[in-house]
Amino acid sequence: MALQVTGPDHVLFGTDLPAAPEPTVVHNIENLSFDGVTAAELAGADRENAARLFRRFAPRSAPEGGNG
């Protein structure tokens, strides 16, 4: 397993979308789990780690002051 050689913040999850039907991908993501891996670590592998690595795909936050 990847966690034997690196930390959970270096793990990314990917799918075969669009090769697999979307309902299959959604089902697999919703049921993703590994023994000894926390919900926060799974969330990181699902999106947060990739967003940190590929900043251009991360959601943009509103500028301070709240004007969008």
pLDDT tens digits along 11-67: 877 766 677 888 887 888 788 777 788 888 888 887 888 888 888 877 766 555 555
Q: How many domains does the chain have?
A: 1
Which residues touch 11 (CB under 8 Å, ≥6 apart)?
2, 3, 41, 44, 45, 49
Prediction pTM value:
0.53
Domain that holds residue 9: 2-56
Question: What are the Cα distances from residue 45, in Å, to 1, 12, 25, 27, 41?
Answer: 13, 4, 15, 16, 6
Does 18 map to a domain?
A: yes
Does 65 map to a domain?
A: no
